[in-house]
A and B are shown apart, each in its own frame.
Chain A
């Protein structure tokens, strides 16, 4: 059976890589967008396969309880986003914002991004993981700049510079981890392989690990979008095509977070090393509160939801920083729910921006009246992202807050404060967007609502009921995370 699994893991990488090459050559956007969907779907199918049947860890790639969560999640969101992208991009072509030539580029880049993310998640080697994440950054940079407007270029430039610095810091951290492992595992390849690193982590030099973690936290933290390294995130979300915003928020941030989690586990396994929790908790809280306040002054709808992603990444980082089975479970759940919800919101926002012809919040009003499906979809999405039940994020917030309050009541206060601040901002905005006298374009939406409502119903279902398999799986991962 392992052979089939090995094929699946290979296909997980090969399908996007091959499609990327293929799509770069084809020109018809109708065809390419369909191929894009099909190949993303095939990738997702491979991920599902891996869920049930895992290959033995190899030198370069491996599958374990932790990364399979991320793989399934990101291939799923990648798949739905590609479906959304098909209808979104069609509109962009019709309005002439993008030309077919750019379309080839766009789809190729989309698949390269999928490839890079899958590689990053499956890599059994800290160097390989680094390379993959760097590749993912580069592809997204290119996609953010695709509209070639002043703002888009600037956003891409900012993303590129800050991302490069971040990735450089991460590389330094990676080298330091190697250095700390090298005396134990010996020179060479072994000292960079996750499976061997984790086995021997207790014997590594703790001080070196400390320094390494600082660099990794800041480096990959830049990718996660944690404040104060967040600056690239809002602009990149706002200026790129909306499917990319969805992928950025729903996937790329998670991949970077995955890297941090891996290294956190490494540190946690070394008793003498500095506890990684407090640093993550601090950065998480800073991001949460900072983003909460930033939400108030946003007048661009996509930028606002980008800040909301920062906020949620803050919460997730906080939860993982708190550690323990409950908080880790909450963190995982929150991450899953956030990916689904945030991408759903971006699906809605993409269509909204298209029908209204603007991204300015002040120019969009009364959506539930002019476009009920989009409007209520957005309302439900925002309620979900604001952590209201019965939607899924409430469950994770419930666990985060209550477990924090039981263990560290003082930490719960800034946490709750941040949540409330962010809630106030989101509520003000959604009231203005969804209600009141309609304003802005009133044209019909030519959109498929399937991805949007699929995500939202998943989020709703998860808020009410989690299948016991999923729970057992997440609990297992939570225990793994320590």
Chain B
């Protein structure tokens, strides 16, 4: 069993990082949503595999949530928002794709070093998992930092959350409460974001955060 299960887990987790890179690379709105769907699918596969190997059946719930919620509902609603707000243009990536990718590679290397050194005693599966999770988190953050568009920032944030779930799933025997709370928080996060988008939609013609930023409550 050992090696195969490890390889598969490795494959999924690594895949997640790869998809994160794709997110980072993608500069079209619709493409971004598609890739995010893929991200969610890979996550749910990964979590599912963890559930299987750890014999932790509750993790299947998490996987299912990831699959249904993130791979289906959210992309759909994002598309709706896109249509309703008429956002079709490409998203500007600050600093250009090349630089962003390089930084991303650096971040992955950093998370490898940090995590592999830190978890020397843990079992290899958890180590790999954590390292990849950290990479995904950092890449998600990088994406939030390099995008000007609200929707893509939200996607960045959600990919970050995916990284967290990957980590939580990799943590052996972590009580159910965590998964639920994660799902719960993602749910609330999305609702609130939705409310916000709605409100913002109500008042402004765009959800481009950049325009929101014009006003800081104080003038220069």
Contacts and interface: CB of A to CB of B under 8 A. Distances in A.
A207 interface: yes
A207 B178 contact: no
B115 A172 contact: no
Interface residues of B, number: 49
A351 to B, nearest CB: 21
Contacts of B218: 298-300, 303
B182 interface: yes
A175 B217 contact: no
Chain A contact residues: helix, strand, loop or mixed: helix
Interface stretch (A62-70, A187-195, A337-345): A187-195
B216 A235 contact: yes
A299 B218 CA distance: 7
Contact of B181 (A131, A160, A299): A131
Interface string A136-178: 0010011001001011011111001100110111011011101
Given A134-B185, A172-B137, A187-B172, A239 B217 contact: yes
Nearest to B189: A164
A470 to B, nearest CB: 36
Interface in B173-206: 173-175, 177-178, 181-182, 184-185, 188-189, 192-193, 196, 199-200, 203
Nearest to A138: B188
A188 B185 contact: no
A298 B192 CA distance: 30
Given A168-B137, A171-B182, A205 B119 contact: yes
Given A157-B212, A164-B157, A178-B174, A210 B118 contact: yes
B144 interface: yes
* Of B153, B174, B184, most A-chain CB atoms within 10 Å: B174
A127 B178 contact: yes
B120 interface: yes
Contact of B171 (A155, A165, A178, A235): A178
B175 A189 contact: yes
Given A153-B200, A171-B182, A128 B177 contact: yes
Nearest to A207: B118
B164 A207 contact: no
A437 B150 CA distance: 47
A329 interface: no
A188 B203 contact: no
Nearest to B216: A235
Interface string B64-79: 0000000000000000
A157 B196 contact: yes
Contacts of B130: 176, 179
A165 B141 contact: yes
B173 A188 contact: yes
Contacts of B118: 205, 207-208, 210-211
* Of A128, A179, A182, A299, most B-chain CB atoms within 10 Å: A179
B161 interface: yes
B19 interface: no
A320 B209 CA distance: 37
B54 to A, nearest CB: 9
B114 interface: yes
A165 B164 contact: no
A189 to B, nearest CB: 5
B181 A127 contact: yes
A300 B217 contact: yes
Given A141-B192, A160-B192, A210-B118, A168 B215 contact: no
Contacts of A138: 188, 192
Interface in A115-141: 125, 127-128, 130-131, 134, 138, 141
A353 interface: no
Interface string B104-131: 0000000000110111111000100010
A183 B121 contact: yes
A188 B150 CA distance: 38
A322 interface: no
B172 A175 contact: no
Given A164-B189, A167-B185, A238 B175 contact: no
Interface in A184-228: 186-189, 191-192, 205, 207-208, 210-211
Contacts of A167: 185
B215 A151 contact: yes
B160 interface: yes
B168 interface: yes
A109 B177 CA distance: 24
A172 B173 contact: no
B217 A207 contact: no
A58 to B, nearest CB: 15
Contact of B173 (A131, A168, A182, A299): A182
Given A153-B199, A208-B119, A175 B178 contact: yes
Given A178-B174, A179-B122, 9 more contacts: A130-B181, A141-B192, A142-B192, A155-B217, A164-B189, A165-B144, A172-B163, A187-B174, A188-B175
* Top-9 shortest CB links A-B: A187-B173, A207-B118, A208-B118, A131-B181, A175-B167, A151-B217, A211-B118, A189-B175, A179-B171
26 contacts: A127-B178, A131-B181, A131-B184, A141-B192, A142-B192, A150-B203, A154-B212, A155-B217, A157-B196, A161-B153, A161-B157, A171-B164, A172-B133, A175-B178, A178-B174, A179-B130, A183-B121, A187-B172, A205-B118, A205-B119, A205-B121, A207-B117, A207-B118, A208-B118, A238-B217, A299-B218
